[in-house]
Structure 1
Amino acid sequence: MQSGNNTQIFLELINQHKGIIHKATKMYMNQLEDQEDLFQEIVGQLWKAYPTFKGNSKFSTWMYRVALNTAIVFFKKEHKKLDKISLDHEFDIADINDNSHEKEEKLAYLYKAVRELNPIEKALIFLYLEDLSHKEIAENLGISEINARVKLSRTKEKLQQIIKNNGYEF
């Protein structure tokens, strides 16, 4: 059972890092309602697992693992058909942090393109967009750093191909 102090700490940490959860939900779910359901599922899983968090890694690193694992399981359960969307071969997946309307629109299309990837590829792109190093990506996914590098490179190529094949243009 969680103590009141632990509950407050947990809520503060969730609030501080809720962007991680939002990004995971957008990558794995199409509809806003599904994203909200997944958000709640991730928070629930984080709460259940919180007593096991020992502080051997940063809270955000631990949170990535729980969020991604929960999203993958949730996605497999839901197994909804993904919408196809036209995307641009010029789309720069690393340049999405600008708050302009065009960048927000590109980000929305990126999430739709990412939904065409398999769950592991989605996790790779998610961690890449969070600016994690290859080493950190490898640790989060339980693979070697070299494997993370190769898989990430192939996944980025695949995502660019999806974008190119759909002919998205600005």
Structure 2
Amino acid sequence: MTESKQDRLFCEAIEQFGGALARMARGYEANPDARRDLEQELQVALWQSFERFDGRCSLSTWVWRVAHNRAVSFVVSQKRHRQRGWSSIEELEISHDAASTIDDADERDAMARI
């Protein structure tokens, strides 16, 4: 299978700038889990962007422009989530001992019949 231009450019960019992109992600995101998500988003955005890369600028300029734009979008979306009070599934605590609403209703119905 032959490597596409998009794949070749992506591999070259990651080889040259992978470490710097990881450092960039640390600068934008302090939370380790969110930082890993950001790094993955940066890589996906880069790979997708190389379909449109026409060489009118240097590879370095292209990589940093795409990475910066995606990082800013990521930070803004994280801020919106926090402002809206959204929680990740990991932050939710579910009590397995507590009866569910359906169980409560069934119990109240049974007590009413008695």
CA 1:42/1:65 → structure 2, altered by over 3 Å: closer, same or farther?
A: same
Residue type of the alignment partner of 2:71: A
**1:5, CA displacement in angstroms?**
3.7
Deviation track 1:50-108 (CA, whole Å, cap 9, x = no partner) reads 11111111111111100000000000111177xxxxxxxxxxxxxxxxxxxxxxxxxxx
* 2:100 corresponds to: none
Residue type of the alignment partner of 2:32: L
The TM-score normalised by the length of structure 1 is 0.42
Pairs aligned (count): 79
Residue type of the alignment partner of 1:74: F
Counterpart contact for 2:13–2:63, Cα < 8 Å = no
The whole-number CA distance in structure 2 between the counterparts of 1:62 and 1:9 is: 11
Residue type of the alignment partner of 1:21: L
The whole-number CA distance in structure 1 between the counterparts of 2:23 and 2:58 is: 18
The 5 Å alignment of 1:17-166 reads 17-79=17-79
The whole-number CA distance in structure 1 between the counterparts of 2:67 and 2:10 is: 15
State the Cα RMSD in Å.
1.9
**1:10, CA displacement in angstroms?**
1.9
The whole-number CA distance in structure 1 between the counterparts of 2:63 and 2:28 is: 16
CA 1:67/1:54 → structure 2, altered by over 3 Å: closer, same or farther?
A: same
1:4 to 2:3 alignment: yes
Deviation track 1:117-141 (CA, whole Å, cap 9, x = no partner) reads xxxxxxxxxxxxxxxxxxxxxxxxx
* CA radius of gyration, larger in: 2
* 2:91 corresponds to: none
Over the matched positions of the two proteins, sequence identity in percent amounts to: 29
Runs of 4+ in structure 1 displaced over 2 angstroms?
A: none
Residue type of the alignment partner of 1:34: A
The TM-score normalised by the length of structure 2 is 0.61
**1:23, CA displacement in angstroms?**
2.3
Counterpart contact for 1:45–1:66, Cα < 8 Å = yes
Q: Could you list the runs of 5+ residues in structure 2 that have no partner in the other structure?
A: 83-114
**1:21, CA displacement in angstroms?**
1.2
The whole-number CA distance in structure 1 between the counterparts of 2:18 and 2:30 is: 19
